[in-house]
Amino acid sequence: MPLRHLLLALSVVAIWGTNFVVIRWGLDAFAPYTFAALRYTFSFLPFIFFVKRPAMTWAQLAGFGVLIGVGQFGLLFWAMRSDISPGLASLVIQSQVFFTIGMSAILYRDRLKALQWPAFALAVAGLAVVASHVSSKSGVTAFGVMLVIGAAVAWSLCNLIARAAGRVDALGFMVWSSPFAAVPLWIITLLQNGTQPVVDSLTQAGTAPWLAVAWQAIGNTLFGYGAWNWLLARHSPSAVTPTALLVPVFGMTASALALHEGLPAWKLGAAALVMGGLAVNLMATRRKA
């Protein structure tokens, strides 16, 4: 990638990493699927009346919207409510990189470079360290890890849809796919929580939770995923998606500073392994043939 594209990718992952703290604040006021529904409602309202629909099929828009809303963020928010800490969630979600590269190799015949195999091994070792410390004391449960891995799979499928869409208007992509995320999310949260609890949470939420909703919609969805999809339309997933492995650096640091999440040696070791995988993978993708 050109340097300016790399810097854009890094700005996106910085926003995504610090966003795990914002998610935690939002979940203090809203149920997981309510919070996700609000995020995607305000990702298309009122913008859909001013932004032109991108040159994509309805199936692509619907598939992306459902996967990113119900799959990625519905599962992630569910896990973060009580089954995994923000810092650890920011680390485990990065398994999406390997799902994306693996699926891309199968579907698009993208050739994996020799150095990518040890990169994958390092990252898997880091995730294994997290799995070995599943307990209530460590702030992570097996159920929470499974939910976040499910969210990572959904994210990887979104990456492939974005690649298949090609060079379409990135902002329009996010705006017009968001209704397909919001509608099923509202249905799920109403079935799961009931109408009155949802209404009560909306009317009783203070300023901070609503600011968290706004940041989810504008900063993360419209800018973050808009820029991410723009990059995926111009570069192979193996070049773009590994930069997301920096999300845990921002996520764990922000969580430690803002939420006082502990950083014991095993967490730092897991992060170091995953970051090592990132470094090796970047070496592999940037080397000349």
Residue 136 pLDDT more than 80?
A: no
pLDDT band at 103 (very low <50, low <70, confident <90, very high): confident
pTM of the model: 0.82
Interaxial angle between packed helices 207-214 and 3-27, expressed in degrees from 0 to 180 and rounded to the nearest 10:
150
Q: Chain-wide mean pLDDT for the chain?
A: 85
What's the rounded Cα separation, in Å, for the pair 229 and 283? 23
pLDDT band at 289 (very low <50, low <70, confident <90, very high): very low
Query: What six digits make up the tokens of 131?
Result: 């799995």
Per residue, the 3-state secondary structure of the chain, as one string, reads CCHHHHHHHHHHHHHHHHHHHHHHHHHCCCCHHHHHHHHHHHHHCCHHHCCCCCCCCHHHHHHHHHHHHHHHHHHHHHHHHHCECHHHHHHHHHHHHHHHHHHHHHHHCCCCCCCHHHHHHHHHHHHHHHHHCCECCCCECHHHHHHHHHHHHHHHHHHHHHHHHCCCCHHHHHHHHHHHHHHHHHHHHHHHHCHHHHHHHHHHCCHHHHHHHHHHHHHHHHHHHHHHHHHHCCCCHHHHHHHHHHHHHHHHHHHHHHHCCCCCHHHHHHHHHHHHHHHHHHHHHHCCC
pLDDT of residue 108: 74
The mean per-residue pLDDT over the stretch 258-264 comes to 82
pLDDT band at 264 (very low <50, low <70, confident <90, very high): confident
> How is the chain split into domains, by residue range?
3-286
| pLDDT tens-place string over residues 9-39 | 888 988 988 888 899 899 989 999 999 999 9
What's the rounded Cα separation, in Å, for the pair 101 and 16? 20
Residue 135 pLDDT more than 70?
A: no
Residue 210 pLDDT more than 90?
A: yes
pLDDT of residue 287: 54
